[in-house]
Structure 1
Amino acid sequence: MTKLSVNINKIATLRNARGGNNPDLVKMALDAETFGADGITVHPRPDERHIRYQDVRDLKPLLTTEFNIEGNCKEQKFIDLVLEVKPDQVTLVPDATGQLTSDHGWDTISNKDYLTGIIGTFKKAGIRVSIFVDPDEKMVAGAAATGTDRIELYTEGYARNFPVNKEQAIAPYIKAAEQARSLGLGLNAGHDLDLKNLNYFSRQIPWLNEVSIGHALICDTLYLGFENTIQLYKRQLQHNL
């Protein structure tokens, strides 16, 4: 079954709003694991407006599921942190400094040489590498040429169009996912996946390795409770419903 990695950035945002350590980020990450999460995702940014670099260091020795660190690999501070902490997976995202949220995938063709080099650096350290990619078959082929282990499909377009026409919304993702599989790439997905659109997405691409979900999951938690919400998301990834 597709794994659920819970992105805890929004928990850090809430903590940082008042200072101190409430909510306790580490405790909530460990609770997420207890409640059924298959992994924990963090996305530290240079201004540390949500996840702090020290949070990443604090989490690593305590987590018992997969640890995924996302971020802008053109920031030397990010590279140094990942090589220090050695998570199970690093997801490379082409964010600009100060960007509110990730909003596009890599141009894997024009950035081939750069990506090949940085991916090699992380793989040499024993870290699985995934790169953020739009549902474009040319970009998937370009990703395979860089030596990455996986791609993560950027799913904002799917989520935006799902209420209008779910078949059209999923079509380019199926094509991209099929090409990734044919090229031997692992497959992750993330951005704006939620309780309404997740099950359909995972049913159409049943070989999906992992989804990373944060914003929607934490919003649902406010109404439904943390444990219940994680279980509801896990249920969407089951295909025997």
Structure 2
Amino acid sequence: MAKLSVNINKIATLRNSRGGNNPDLVRVALDAERFGAEGITVHPRPDERHIRYQDVFDLKKVISTEFNIEGNPKEQKFVDLVLANTPAQVTLVPDAEGQLTSNHGWDTMKHQSYLKDIIAEFKAAGIRVSIFVDPSADMVEAAKTTGTDRIELYTEAYASGYHHNRETAIKPYIDAAIVANKLGLGINAGHDLDLHNLNYFSKNIPGLLEVSIGHALICDALYLGLENTIQMYLRELKNI
């Protein structure tokens, strides 16, 4: 069964909207673990509009499941942050400065040389590396040459097409996963996965190891409660 890593960026956004420490990000992370989350994901950005750099240090002290830090390694401050905290996994995302949310994967051919160097730096520190990629066999094949341990399939296109034609929407992801499996790359996935589309995705992607879910899960928790929501997402992953 794929693991569920809960992205807590939206909790930080709510906290920052009023200042202070309500809700308490660290407590929410610990509660998410207690409620069944198998990992905690954060995606700090240079403007610290949600996750602050200090949050990463605070979380690192207490997280007992897998800690996953996402971000753009072309920002030296991000690289320094990751190396100072040595999470279980770093996920490299090609976000532009000021970007609202991640919206594309790496061009693993164009940026191959750069990715090789930065991935080697993180792996030398004992950190597992995953890189954000679109569901393209060519991009997956080029990702293998970078030395990454895993890829994270960017699932916005799947989520957008799911209700129209889920078989068509998922096909590129299945094809990309088959290539990844042949190459020995681990497979993560994330972006717009939710209670409606998660089960079908997890059933059909061979070798899926982890999903990172934040926005939809936190939105659901407003109505259903955080503990119940995490358990519902876990059931979707288990019901295969």
**TM class, shorter-length:** over 0.9
1:200-219 equivalence runs, <5 A: 200-219=200-219
Tell me what 1:94 maps to: 94
1:41-52 equivalence runs, <5 A: 41-52=41-52
Paired with 2:71 and 2:100, the residues of 1 have a C-alpha distance of: 13
How much has 1:206 moved relative to structure 2?
4.3
Matched to 1:97, the amino acid is E
Paired with 2:12 and 2:239, the residues of 1 have a C-alpha distance of: 32
Matched to 1:150, the amino acid is R
RMSD of aligned alpha carbons: 0.5
Secondary structure of 1:27's aligned partner: helix
Matched to 1:186, the amino acid is G
Runs of 4+ in 1 over 3 A off after TM superposition: none
Secondary structure of 2:26's aligned partner: helix
Tell me what 2:155 maps to: 155
1:1-241 equivalence runs, <5 A: 1-240=1-240
Stretches of structure 1 lacking an aligned partner (at least 5 in a row): none
Deviations 1:32-87 (A, max 9, x none): 00000000000000000000000000000101000000001100000000000000
Contact 2:174–2:206 (CA under 8 A) maintained in structure 1: no
User: TM-score scaled to structure 1, two decimals?
Assistant: 0.99
Kindly tell me the number of residue pairs found equivalent between the two proteins. Answer: 240
Deviations 1:78-136 (A, max 9, x none): 00000000000000000000000000000000100000000000000000000000000
Paired with 1:152 and 1:206, the residues of 2 have a C-alpha distance of: 13
Counting aligned pairs with the same residue, the percent is 73
Paired with 1:8 and 1:61, the residues of 2 have a C-alpha distance of: 16
Paired with 2:206 and 2:143, the residues of 1 have a C-alpha distance of: 21
User: TM-score scaled to structure 2, two decimals?
Assistant: 0.99
Secondary structure of 2:10's aligned partner: helix
Paired with 2:202 and 2:82, the residues of 1 have a C-alpha distance of: 29
Paired with 1:129 and 1:205, the residues of 2 have a C-alpha distance of: 20
Paired with 1:107 and 1:72, the residues of 2 have a C-alpha distance of: 13
How much has 1:239 moved relative to structure 2?
3.1
Matched to 1:234, the amino acid is L
